[in-house]
Structure 1
Amino acid sequence: MTSSSIFQSAPDKRWEQFTTNIDFCRRMVHSGAALESAAASQLNLGDLSKVQHTDLYRAAWVQAISALDHWLHQEIVSRAIAIINDRPTPRPDRLKGYAVSWETVEDMQNRSIDDVMTEHMTERLARDSYQKPDRIAEGLQYVTQKKQGQIWKEVAQVLGSEQTVDQVKQRQTDIAIRRNWIAHEADIEHLTGTRRPITASQTTSTIDWVENLAAAIRTVLNQSI
């Protein structure tokens, strides 16, 4: 069995869940756009008139990044367990250095190593945020021998755009920063005290970017350890 085939022997439920979450984001944008169009036509929306269409765009933006973060956590843990179970597969340095307590080792005497390690890694990695490029690459190094620079170089190549590696990373950084403004600062511009503008097209572009980025990362991981 090759190093890449150990991750492709069964339907990818994690990816299916990710794309379902991305579709949910797109539906929020469609709902917001419908409200925006109805309001512009001066239709009687009843209680819906209290809903701000831009709030749906902001919610979709946050959800898209959450979908990416959630998928990456699941993907890293699942691939790490697969590598542990496949002896011929070389262990990435960061996975080789993964330490567990004696309590965890003792737990393995009564339960399967897979279950114990899945729980342990899921809990530990939950402290990490996989939203900005450097943190994403750090997480991926549990399951690949590639250095951070190589990871992003290959991701940029898979994306197939004319953007440089730095531009790809900056785009993801900007999207993550805007997500944090929305989630933690109500998207309010400090100088003006008003919310930053946001449109359906901007949000749709962001959702598309996140989906394409995840697909590129998945491709790079499947190419080799």
Structure 2
Amino acid sequence: MAIPRPNTSQFEAFTTNLAYARKMVDAGRYLAPFQPGTVDVDDFYRAAWVQAVAAIDHWFHEELFRRVAELAAKDSPEMPLQLRNYEIPLHRVEAVQRGDVTLADVVVEHVKERWGNASLQNPRAISDVLRLVTEKNIWQGAAAQINSWQGGRTAYTDKTLKAQFMSITTRRNKIAHDADLVAGDLKQRRPITEPDVTDAINWIDRIALAMAHVLDE
């Protein structure tokens, strides 16, 4: 049975960005039998890996801003403590009092200034930022959700799921920052295969979908 996907523009954008990564994998697979001399086919896989991580990083940001806006507009007593206690500069408070902007707009603008350029590729940073919109243990909830989808055949925990995610983002950093070169070598790159990157993309999709379900509960 297909798992329902969130019907939001933020998650649709994530799905589109991930589909672009899959197309890069397809291009590499189609070219592999021909081994064109001027192209390193493995670079298609490396580009797909980086694109997939960028897709979930972007989704975390956009999902954060959307939910902060919704929660701030409601001003509900059920608002997460981190958001209720969020400090806003006085000049922005004054702008709300004058009626120049809404409270929700001010809060979102300030959150964007704080987190807009932050890298959300580390489990701790992701947990920290999502505390603004939920008081749940997001990684524990996502692990439990994945186990449920697998019919109990898996036993992921927040710790093992974080490790899985970190293994993907760590490889992304080696590709993006070190040209995926083997440590101490200026020419030899780490091996990468189509199954490697397909598995990484599938995991990114699975983790984002599980987190979206936990946030929506």
Whole-Å Cα distance in 2 between the matches of residues 132 and 75 of structure 1? 16
| Corresponding residue of 2:8 | 12
Q: Report Cα offsets for 1:104-133 as digits up to 9, x if no partner.
A: 223433233333333322221124221121
**Preserved CA contact (<8 Å) 1:83 1:89:** no
Bigger Cα displacement from structure 2, 182-191 vs 88-97: 88-97
Q: Given the alignment of the two structures, is residue 69 of structure 1 paired with residue 62 of structure 2, yes or no? A: no
CA deviations over 1:48-71 (Å, ceiling 9, x no partner): x42211111111111111110110
TM-score, normalisation: structure 2: 0.87
Q: Cα distance, 1:89 vs. partner?
A: 4.9
Name 2:176's counterpart in structure 1: 183
Q: Which residue of 2 aligns with 1:105?
A: 93
Can you list the C-alpha shifts for 1:64-96, whole angstroms capped at 9, x where unaligned? Answer: 111101100110111111111123351212112
**Counterpart for residue 56 of structure 1:** 44
Matched, 1:159 2:146: yes
- Number of aligned residue pairs: give it: 203
8 Å CA contact 1:26–1:204 kept in 2: the answer is yes
Amino acid at match of 1:175: I
Q: Which runs of 5+ in 1 are unaligned?
A: 1-7, 40-44
Q: Distance in 1 between matches of 2:161 and 2:173?
A: 19
- For 1:68 and 1:218, locate their aligned partners in 2 and report how far apart those are by CA, in whole Å: 11
Pick aligned residue for 2:71 from 55, 77, 83: 83
1:112–1:86 Cα change, 3 Å:
closer
Q: Percent of counterpart pairs with the same letter?
A: 35
Tell me, which stretches of 5 or more residues in structure 2 are unaligned? 1-5, 148-153
Deviation string, structure 1 residues 137-176 (Cα, Å, up to 9, x no partner): 1111110112xxx322211111113333322111111111
Residue 213 of structure 1: how far off its partner (Å): 0.2
Correspondence for 1:34: 30
* Paired residues of 1:29 and 1:57 also in contact (CA < 8 A): yes
TM-score, normalised via structure 1 length: 0.84
Q: Equivalent residues in 2 for 1:212-223 (5 A)? A: 212-223=206-217
Tell me whether 1:128 sits opposite 2:124 in the alignment: no
The 10-residue stretch of structure 1 (167-176 or 209-218) with the greater mean CA deviation from structure 2 = 167-176
The CA deviation string for residues 168-201 of structure 1, in whole angstroms up to 9 with x for no partner, is 1111111111111111111111233321111111
Counterpart of 1:191, as a letter, is: G
In the TM superposition, residue 37 of structure 1 has moved relative to its aligned partner by 1.9
In 1, are the aligned partners of 2:144 and 2:156 still within 8 Å (CA)?
no
User: Structure 1 residues 88, 113: closer, same or farther in 2, change over 3 A?
Assistant: closer
